[in-house]
Structure 1
Amino acid sequence: MPVLTHSPHPTALQAMSTRMRNFRPRRRWWRRWVKRSAVALILRQSHGEIEVLMIQRAEREGDPWSGHMAFPGGRMDPDDRTGLRTAMRETEEEIGIDIERAGNVMGRLSDLVSRPHSGRRPMVVSPYVFSLHIPVSIDSNHEVADTVWVPLTYLADHRNRQTMEVQRGKLNFVLPCYHYKGKQIWGMSLRMLDELLELVGGLVSMVEENPGVVE
């Protein structure tokens, strides 16, 4: 594990932040020429656990991700100079969290390619990871049906991993998934979580030694 110099008793989130800074995510070099979006993986430490905030998308006709578990985020606007700005703006719009005031950016994960709402060109999704340093309240807009904090220890334990069948046209696919508090976590969101867990390793169960965590 990287040596931390800023605190003799590093928190789990601080240790994760160090690993994120040293991580080199895969970036799609051609992303500037296609549709782009960005999402926010928001982490907090509570009672010695690291949790990630997930949203359940509202049911909307014509939305291919309708009702799915996801992270706050959305399409990049022309005024968004970076994907990071998109993730922060969309987080405040969708769940009312001003991440610039309430947290810190830890880094980013690898770009993923998704199908867009319309058109044939793919969409590149850039995930950004944040940590909270003050308590927050969630004020969801019409795009969000529900929110849930999911412990990373639950996701890191592959005994909790199940499978599901997804039909694409005439083909059936068996994909990995998790069921947590009645929510099904799978697809692109699970791929982001898998990369995050591969990166932070055993830090997900690190117990805070110096109280001062976000409860």
Structure 2
Amino acid sequence: MLLQKEEIQQIVQHVPKRQDIVPAYTPSAILMLFFNRDRETHLVYIRRTKGAPVHSGSMAFPGGKIDPHDDSNFAAAARETSEEIGVDQTAYEHLGEMGFFETFTSKFDAAAHIAWCMAPPSYVRNTFEVAEIIEIPISELYKQFRLDLNFDDPNEVMYLGFHFQPSHSEAVNIWGLTARITHHFLQGLADFMSS
């Protein structure tokens, strides 16, 4: 599946967005980095190190807590992306955000931002926080998209997941907040393709 920057921009503009932060949750922000390679659109994920203080060993998007010195939640997402995978703002264009998504257990409320890389990114991995950087083709995620997912059923949402087998490492299991943000984007993609 090959998407262009303008198509992703349209998807971001039309997805439903929750703008209010959940009280008593830790404000945070993530960055979804999209790019094209070999006639396929990819999305960048990270596998957190096993010793990470929060979400140890899990799949995530680059991101983290919003610090007091961050000018905005996007600034926090950009800073964390630079710190974790060495991709700074000169490598991508910020296309917008999809609102906030809360974790069910660790009480984080994350602003989900979207960015477009004109070329496949070059990485400098923070080995303390990031065990691995994994680029997943959108087509592999879309094959697993559940149009029938009932967000009113906590069990369905709790067990939402995406799976991928990279050629160079162990299988990827995306669940929790990262799976819900991925699903939200894919719902926007499905709506865009059917319009």
Which category of TM-score, normalised to the shorter sequence, fits these structures? 0.7 to 0.9
Q: Please say if 1:187 is aligned against 2:180.
A: no
Q: TM-score, normalised by structure 2?
A: 0.80
Whole-angstrom distance in 2 between the partners of 1:203 and 1:132: 21
Q: TM-score, normalised by structure 1?
A: 0.73
Whole-angstrom distance in 2 between the partners of 1:103 and 1:203: 23
Partner of 2:125: 140
Residue 16 (structure 1) aligned to one of 8, 24, 30: 8
Whole-angstrom distance in 1 between the partners of 2:177 and 2:15: 20
Aligned length: 176
Whole-angstrom distance in 2 between the partners of 1:138 and 1:15: 25
Whole-angstrom distance in 2 between the partners of 1:53 and 1:31: 26
- 1:33: Cα distance to partner? 6.2
- 1:37: Cα distance to partner? 0.6
Unaligned runs of 5+ in 1: 1-10, 161-172, 205-215
The answer (yes or no) to whether the contact 2:158–2:176 under 8 Å persists in 1 is: no
Matched position secondary structure for 1:110: strand
Alignment of 1:69-148 (within 5 A): 69-98=59-88, 100-114=89-103, 122-141=107-126, 142-148=128-134
The answer (yes or no) to whether the contact 2:164–2:173 under 8 Å persists in 1 is: yes
The answer (yes or no) to whether the contact 2:49–2:131 under 8 Å persists in 1 is: yes
Whole-angstrom distance in 2 between the partners of 1:82 and 1:32: 18
What code does the residue aligned with 1:16 have? I
The answer (yes or no) to whether the contact 2:63–2:77 under 8 Å persists in 1 is: yes
The answer (yes or no) to whether the contact 2:28–2:111 under 8 Å persists in 1 is: yes
Q: Please say if 1:42 is aligned against 2:41.
A: no
Identical pairs, percent: 24
Residue 189 (structure 2) aligned to one of 200, 205, 214: 200
Question: Max radius of gyration: which structure?
Answer: 1
Partner of 1:211: none
The answer (yes or no) to whether the contact 2:48–2:57 under 8 Å persists in 1 is: yes
Unaligned runs of 5+ in 2: 147-156, 166-170
What code does the residue aligned with 1:125 have? A
- 1:38: Cα distance to partner? 0.4
The answer (yes or no) to whether the contact 1:16–1:203 under 8 Å persists in 2 is: no
C-alpha root-mean-square deviation of aligned residues, in Å? 2.7
